[in-house]
Amino acid sequence: MKNALIIYAHPEPKSFNAALCDRAVSVLSEVGYEVVVSDLHAQNFSPLLDRPDFTSAADPDYFKPQTEQMQAVEGDSFAAELKSEMDKLERADLLIFQFPLWWFGLPAILKGWVDRVFAMGFAYGPGIGNYSRGRFKGRKAMLSLSTGGPLSHFANDGLSGALDVVLWPIQNGMLNFTGFSVLPPFVAPGPARIGDNERAALLTAWEARLRSIDETRPLNFHDLDDFDLKGPEPGRLKPGITGRTVGQRSGL
C-alpha cells in the first residue's frame, strides 16, 4: 500500500481548503493510498524554529539553527512534535501541501513546518545531496492551493505574475531541492468569489486530478548535472544547456 501525507494549513474547519483536504483523503483512499493528514492548526503546530525544537543543545550560548538540527539528527534529540512529523514524512510516497495562498506564498504555519521538519541533516545537507540527488528522490509532492484572485491574475502577463514564478520558492526551493518529483499544482481560483455550482466543479476537478495522480507527469526541473557546480560562476547552467524551469507554464 502506498502512503500519502497531506499537510493541511487552514484555521477554519468549514473552509473551502478543508473541503479540498477532505476530498483528497476520500479519493486517495479509494485509489489505494493510506492517507495521513497533519492538520497544523488543529495540532497547534508552532511555526517557530527555535530552542524548543531540541531536547538538548549543541551550543547553549549561540543558537545556530542548522548546527542544532544536525546535532539533533545524530543525537536523536528532536522534540516529539518534530519526530512525529518526520516519521510521517519518512513513510510518505506522496506529499501534498493543502493551503490558501497568503502573501504570494505559504501561510506562516506551513512555512514553519518546512523550516522545522525539513531539517538540515534530515532532509538535506552534508552527506545527503540535494535537487536531483536529494533525500526524497523517487517520491512525489504537489501543491493544492486556493487563491483570492482569479486565474487570469496568474497568467504570464497577469497582475500577480505567472503561477510558476509565484510558486517557484515552494516548488523548486523546498520540494525539488529536497529531491521530490514535483507534480503540477492544483489551483482553486477565488473560491470565495464564485457560487456553489462552480465550487462543486472545482472539487470535481480536484477529484479527477487525484484519480490520475499516479499517471501524472512531474514538472520539468533541470538535473543537477546540467549545472556547472565548480566553475568561476558555480550554479549556472553548463554551456550548451538551454531552457529554464521558471517561465515554462504548468498547464494554465
Ligand X SMILES: Cc1cc2nc3c(=O)[nH]c(=O)nc-3n(C[C@H](O)[C@H](O)[C@H](O)COP(=O)(O)OP(=O)(O)OC[C@H]3O[C@@H](n4cnc5c(N)ncnc54)[C@H](O)[C@@H]3O)c2cc1C
Q: How many residues bind ligand X (CB under 6 A)?
A: 21
Burial label for 60, CB within 10 Å (0-12, 13-18, 19+), is exposed
Q: Which of 31, 42, 159, 192 binds ligand X (CB under 6 A)?
A: 192
Contact range with ligand X by CB under 6 A, out of 8-16, 41-49, 80-88, 173-181: 8-16
Least distance between ligand X and beta carbon 95 (Å)? 20
Q: Which of 27, 28, 100, 121 binds ligand X (CB under 6 A)?
A: 100
Phi, psi (deg, nearest 5) at residue 100: -85, 140
Which residue, 73 or 108, is less far from ligand X as judged by CB? 108
Distance between CA atoms of 57 and 51, rounded to whole angstroms?
Answer: 8
Which residue, 89 or 101, is less far from ligand X as judged by CB? 101
Interaction of residue 47 with ligand X, rule CB under 6 A: no
Which residue, 8 or 136, is less far from ligand X as judged by CB? 8
CA dihedral 244, 102, 146, 171 (to 10 degrees): 30
Q: 3-class SS at 170?
A: helix
Nearest to 45 by CA among 118, 109, 95, 101: 109
Least distance between ligand X and beta carbon 22 (Å)? 8
Interaction of residue 178 with ligand X, rule CB under 6 A: no
Which residue, 61 or 196, is less far from ligand X as judged by CB? 196
Q: How many CB atoms lie within 10 A of CB 99?
A: 25
Cα 56 to Cα 72, 73, 214, distances in angstroms: 8, 11, 41
Q: Which of 4, 6, 9, 19 binds ligand X (CB under 6 A)?
A: 19
Interaction of residue 101 with ligand X, rule CB under 6 A: yes
Q: Which residues contact 38 (CB under 8 A, 6 or more apart)?
A: 5, 6, 7, 8, 45, 85, 88, 113
Cα 153 versus chain centre, distance: 22
Interaction of residue 146 with ligand X, rule CB under 6 A: yes
Which residue, 62 or 103, is less far from ligand X as judged by CB? 103
Distance between CA atoms of 176 and 133, rounded to whole angstroms?
Answer: 10
Which residue, 196 or 233, is less far from ligand X as judged by CB? 196
Question: Residue of minimal CB distance from ligand X?
Answer: 148
Least distance between ligand X and beta carbon 205 (Å)? 13
The grid coordinates of residue 39 equal 492538520
Q: Which of 4, 8, 17, 113 binds ligand X (CB under 6 A)?
A: 17
Binding site for ligand X (CB under 6 A): 10, 12, 14-17, 19, 100-104, 146-149, 191-192, 196, 199-200
